[in-house]
Amino acid sequence: MILRHFILVLGLSLGLILPHSSVLAESDSTYKLASGDVVSISVFGEPDLSFEEVRLNDAGIFSYPFIGEVRAQGKTAAEIERILTERLEGDYLVDPRVSVSILKYREFFISGEVKTPGGYPFQPGLTLRRAVALAGGLTERASESRITIIRDQDPKRRPEPATLDTMVMPGDTITIDQGFF
């Protein structure tokens, strides 16, 4: 653990590691894939089974040679690695080494009193404050105390109160209301 911390600090100081790379690695391990995400699939020694970019369709599914449809919706990259390894092993490959990486996260959406409302690419470690900055900042009528967020994972789609320090997740919908003067 101490050695890992030392390597991270050394890498940061030399500019070899981006400050959010540990956040990215941690969020990738628990991140649940869904429609709109783009992954990279690499099978060691098998260029015909490796793909630089695979976009999940509206149902969170992608097609893969020999296997057909793979349901990635709600699964982590590691779970997709296991599924591909299990399905390729035996009939197609002896000992497949599969790696799945998340290239692009699905967008989050921001509306209301921001200068440029719309969908924006998610970035690991994104706070609502940074999301507002991506959307051009708040308008003069915006209320910093009247912000709601609807989480993509919430099946009931209930708006929750949020602050500028609230963490944003892919697929979230943020609404910033007007303040009353």
**pLDDT per residue as tens digits for the range 124-136:** 899 999 999 999 9
128, amino acid identity: L
Can you name the residues that pair with 48 across neighbouring β-strands? none
33 with 99, same domain: the answer is yes
Q: pLDDT value at position 131? A: 96
**pLDDT tens track for 13-31:** 444 434 333 334 444 578 8
CATH of the domain at 61: 3.30.1950.10
pTM score: 0.71
**Domain-ending residue, one of 104, 132, 159:** 104
Residue 6 pLDDT greater than 70, yes or no: no
Helix (H) or strand (E) holding 43: strand 38-43
Range of the domain at 124: 107-178
Q: What is the DSSP letter of 114?
A: B
116 with 96, same domain: the answer is no
Tokens of 149: 């967020």
Please state the rounded mean pLDDT for residues 69-94: 93
Residue 174 pLDDT greater than 80, yes or no: yes
**pLDDT tens track for 41-78:** 999 999 999 999 999 999 999 999 989 999 999 999 99
147, amino acid identity: I
140 with 78, same domain: the answer is no
Residue 116 pLDDT greater than 90, yes or no: yes
pLDDT above 90: percentage of residues in the chain: 71
Can you name the residues that pair with 63 across neighbouring β-strands? 69
**Domain-ending residue, one of 82, 104, 126:** 104
Mean pLDDT, the chain, as a whole number?
A: 85
CA distance 175 to 173: 7
The number of distinct structural domains making up the chain is: 2
Q: pLDDT value at position 29? A: 73
116 with 132, same domain: the answer is yes
